[in-house]
Amino acid sequence: MSGAKTAVNLAEILAARERLAGAVYCTPCERSEMLSRTTGLNVFLKLENLQMTGSFKERGALNRIATLSPEQAGRGVVAASAGNHAQGVAYHATRRGIRAVIVMPLTTPLVKVTATRGFGAEVVLHGGNYDEACAEATRLCEAEGMTFIHPFDDPLVIAGQGTIGLELLDQVEGLEAVVVPVGGGGLIAGVSCAVKQARASRGLSTVRVVGVQTARLPSMQRAVAEHGPVTLEAAMTIADGIAVRRAGEVTFPLVEEYVDEIVTVDEDEIASAILTLLEREKTLAEGAGAAALAAVLQRRTSLAQGTRTAVLVGGGNIDVTLLSRIIERGLVQDGRLIRLRIHLLDKPGALKELTTLIAAHRANIVDTLYNRAYYGVNLGDTAIDITMETRGPEQVEELLRAMDEAGYHYSRVL
């Protein structure tokens, strides 16, 4: 544990805050009345999605870049990333006139490649995943004498992310808990170190720190359970920003020392949190950015009612096509979008009778699909899939009761 104490400490996080001053936005952390009522906690949202590059990642990137010697700066920096870290490195290196090369997997969405180039970086597309891209970045470092900037497993990067913790203590009077998304651990290691050591240095009560991972890649949770980093099998998740197969060697001891609890959330819960932020808080979050709120909404933490809790919205860089699918899926889960497969007599007026019933219960038809040959349809019958918008589960149940009373045979299509 002594290694954890020397890797990053409060003094280094305070020094990082000085380096970042004026170059990184001190994002707001306002209380949400709606989320507080919904969860039973006293919820404050820390909106790191409002950073210039749309993510907290630029804090750690800038702190590492700001400590380069003139010779190192002259040779440039390199990073491997498919998203937020890439943009943070590109933006702050370019602003300082430093060459930045970002190695991204071949599968990286075009929008992220374009954004990274837009911030001034040279983008190299290499490999089918992050590990292969990272190997190429390491090769470039050795070949060209550049400095590699790790996305999380670097004390200076961790200290940069820790500046969020200092801001939280200033912004939320009487802060009692922080809920943080976790991938490789750079963010939660820095934040937990900052809030724990700062409060201890003032002789104040501690702040409880809760980490949240996607259930598909709980690498830090497994590391804590097994007392050391382990490598998990790769998995797809909408929370790609925290889709890390192995906890960091530098971050793990800090997490083990300072983090009180790590919980997981599944894909549908993350999607629901994205929709909640968008619809109720008018805030756009990516999957990783909404993971912490998902845990709070699902009551996965052990936090007591009324706890003054800061929830980190880590980033907002989400592909619009993915967002549209998340919105549609969220509406389905909330019962506001429903698809029924209804069997009708294939006769004039049958559809009119059905749509009249639907209209009488104020559901809005958005899509229909006829079929006479599949789904076990009898000769003389037809099956029709109808997708409808509703106000929610209560209206759906009311509509289904009316259809039962009218003698319709139907099934829900999921």
**DSSP secondary structure, 173-220, as one string:** TT--EEEEE-SSSHHHHHHHHHHHHHHHHTTPPP-EEEEEEETT--HH
Q: How far apart are CA 409 and CA 365, in angstroms?
A: 18
pLDDT for res 377: 60
Quick one: pLDDT at residue 256? 96
Q: Could you report the per-residue pLDDT of 346-359, keeping only the tens digit for each?
A: 788 988 999 999 99
Q: How far apart are the C-alpha atoms of 394 and 337, rounded to whole Å?
A: 12
What pLDDT is attached to residue 3? 40
**Residue type at 126?**
H
Amino acid 322: pLDDT = 87
- In the chain, what are the domains? 2-56+154-330 (3.40.50.1100), 61-148 (3.40.50.1100), 336-412 (3.30.70.260)
The residue to which tokens 């993971």 are assigned: 291
Per-residue pLDDT tens digits for 9-29: 999 999 999 999 999 999 999
Is 301 in a helix, a strand, or coil?
coil
- DSSP 8-state assignment for residue 23: T
How is residue 265 annotated by DSSP? Answer: E
| Ranges under pLDDT 70 in the chain | 1-6, 372-380
Q: Kindly compute the dihedral angle of the four CA atoms of residues 395, 401, 407, 408, in this order, to the nearest 10 degrees.
A: 40
| pTM for the model | 0.89
